[in-house]
Amino acid sequence: MKANEYDYIIVGSGIGGLYTALSAREYGSVLVITKGSIDDCNTKHAQGGIAAAISKDDSVTLHVQDTLNAGAGLCNEEAVNILAAEGPARIADLVHYRVPFDTIDGEIALTMEAAHSVPRILHAGGDATGEHVELALSKKVRDAGIKVFENFLAVEIVVDKKKVRGIKAIDCRTGTAENFMCRYLILATGGAGQLFKYNTNSNIATGDGISLAFNAGAEIVDMEFFQFHPTALRMPGVPPFLISEAVRGEGGVLRNAEGREFMKDYHEKGDLAPRDIVARAILSEMKKTPTDRVYLDITHLTPETITTRFPHIYRFCLDRGLDITKAQVPVAPAAHYMIGGVKTNSWGETNISGLFATGETACTGVHGANRLASNSLLEAIVFSKRIIERTVSKTKEKPPKTETVKDTYVSLAERPIPKVLPPPNLTTLQQLFWDHAGIIRDKRGLSEAVGILAGWQHSLPKPTDQSSYELSNLVLTGRLLVEAADIREESRGAHFRSDFPESSPKWQHHVIWKK
């Protein structure tokens, strides 16, 4: 094999990318390309944990049912069954890779989170699960001698006759471009939280994989469904910091600015209601009071419980002058997780031969219209494993399609562009999305956002360096999001339209983008 030629190239170094690399190394040469360091990713921001049916009180059937309930009619049932059934074996892999899950009396400790019917959330270091997973996998990748090119940004997928041939990347330090050829290309670039002014994501979450895949001709699906976490720290001068759902799972109570518990007004499950309902309830309470925050109260828990179960959150807040064992935590919603993504089948395959996607970049159909808490890290490892199994399988025919819904296929069309455009930069983009494509949307705001994004696409100069490529990727990814949100004239799961506040049976299908 020539220099710069590999069996597997993986773009991204989160849980999906690193686990895929470790699974692929037995079957050929592997290269991991990542635009930051190997540890820059959204995985390490995952506090809550990983959901898996490993308890004697739990079952695959229960996990499937909870996932389908959260997904609001849009889950791919085949993918959900695979996730729940194969999850326990993948957890065993993480234990083998030395992920230090928390234990009680020698057994893995399990906690409760919203919309789960039983405790099934594994965690490590209390609320530092993602960080421990990332550290364990990155150490294993280094120890295995897998080649990793840090500070390389993938900018174009090389496709010939509908088959992947490789990828073009630029060295972020020098700006020089290089081609890397491969048999199989796996996109694991994470999400696009940087679209929004308030978000819990790493700075690297700029929709790179969506942009790469769409420009190469891959299908993109469910982009209107973007999950907002209801509780991110809201303090002056402090960037949004995730206050895990597990805090409410342990008994945390939301109070408005007047100190009143309010979640029972909105849902029978109160503080353990699904995320989208909690996020909209908080918005409603903030408008009533009026203020930019509500409060999460865990002061009734013992200080020992708080500091051992949530050491990361406790230390972060304490470093900023807030002792959460004594004072309530000021919180507000923030963009958190991209549910849609590159459309894959149950083996991680896209419609382009040799191109796969995993993790937040992919849309396997597991999450439907609303992700069940803590299913995302599990999804990444379950389907990453299946990607490698697919590449070494003797049978190469496409698996049968099990979707029963009638999908809507669309392509980007010319749009009316406003005469005066705001400047195309990250700050303007993030404010635009927060105002017009956030937790509550309507036709007027979405149409305005579509026009501005279409105008920016026409006017942006050809990207030349990391920041200009990232802005270009965000504009394209964002346009797919707002146009899908404009098309879907109903409210379902994480997508809420104030002008169409009810779900409609005629919209129980997917919006799929094709170039």
Range of the domain at 252: 230-335
Token pair, residue 107, equals: 């057994």
What is the pLDDT, as a whole number, of residue 395? 63
Share of residues in the chain with pLDDT > 70 (%)? 96
Chain centroid to CA 232: how far? 16
- What are 318's two structure tokens? 């304490």
395 CB burial (10 A radius; 0-12, 13-18, 19+):
exposed
The whole-number pLDDT of residue 461 equals 95
Whether residue 20 is found in the same domain as residue 137:
yes
Whether 447 and 466 share a structural domain: yes
| CA dist 47 → 241, 304, 425 (Å) | 11, 19, 30
Tell me the C-alpha distance between 9 and 186, whole Å: 6
Judge whether 183 counts as a catalytic residue. no
Compute φ and ψ for 95, nearest 5 degrees.
Answer: -60, -40
The active-site residue, picked from 275, 280, 293, 497, is: 275
CB-neighbour burial class of residue 63 (10 A; exposed 0-12, middle 13-18, buried 19+): buried
3-state SS, residue 336: strand
Q: What is the pLDDT of residues 271-297, one digit of tens each?
A: 988 888 999 999 999 999 889 999 999
- In this structure, the answer to whether residues 126 and 68 fall within a common structural domain is yes
CATH number, residue 484: 1.20.58.100
Closest-CA residue to 474 (of 283, 203, 181): 203
Note the pLDDT of residue 402. 45
Q: Do 380 and 264 share a domain, yes or no? A: no
Is residue 47's pLDDT more than 80?
A: no
Report the distance separating Cα 436 and Cα 450, nearest Å.
Answer: 10
Residues with Cβ within 8 Å of 343's Cβ and at least 6 positions away in sequence, in order, are 218, 219, 220, 221, 350, 351, 363, 512
Domain count, the chain: 3
User: Residue 158: what pLDDT?
Assistant: 98
Q: Are residues 294 and 345 in the same domain?
A: no
State mean pLDDT over 253-282. Answer: 94
Residues 446 and 481 in one domain: yes
Closest-CA residue to 185 (of 311, 5, 305): 5
Region 193-210 average pLDDT: 96
Q: Which of 384, 414, 350 is nearest to 217 (CA)?
A: 350
What's 320's DSSP letter?
T
Asked if residue 42 has pLDDT above 70, the reply is no
Show which of 375, 408, 441 is a domain's final residue.
408
Identify the CATH number of the domain in which residue 308 sits: 3.90.700.10
Is the pLDDT reported for residue 54 higher than 80?
A: yes
DSSP 173: T
Considering only CA atoms, which of 69, 61, 126, 124 is closest in space to residue 87? 61
- Residue ending a domain, among 315, 335, 355, is 335
Residues 41 and 86 in one domain: yes
The CATH number of the domain where 209 resides is what?
3.50.50.60
Q: What are the phi and psi torsion angles at 172 (to 5°)? A: -65, -20
Mark whether 89 and 174 lie in a shared domain.
yes
Residues 57 and 115 in one domain: yes
Residues 159 and 256 in one domain: no
pLDDT digits (tens, 9 = 90+) for 404-446: 458 999 999 988 899 999 999 999 999 999 999 999 999 999 9
Q: Residue 125: pLDDT above 50?
A: yes
What pLDDT does residue 439 have?
97
Mean per-residue pLDDT, 148-170: 97
C-alpha span between 231 and 247 (Å, rounded): 10
Q: Token pair for residue 155?
A: 């900018």
Residues 217 and 411 sit within 8 Å (Cβ to Cβ): no
pLDDT band at 317 (very low <50, low <70, confident <90, very high): very high
Question: Rounded distance, CA 285 to CA 371, Å?
Answer: 24
Residues 311 and 214 in one domain: no
Tokens of 67: 């996932």
Q: Work out whether the CA dihedral 108, 42, 379, 267 comes out positive or negative.
A: positive
**Cα gap 240→262, rounded to integer Å:** 23
Given 392, 408, 424, the domain boundary residue is 408
Mean pLDDT score of the chain, rounded to an integer?
Answer: 94
Contact of 89 with 378, CB cutoff 8 Å: no
On whether both 88 and 179 belong to a single domain, the answer is yes
Q: 355-384: string of b/e by CB count within 10 Å (b at 16+)?
A: bbbbbbbbbbbbbbbbbbbbbbbbbbbbbb
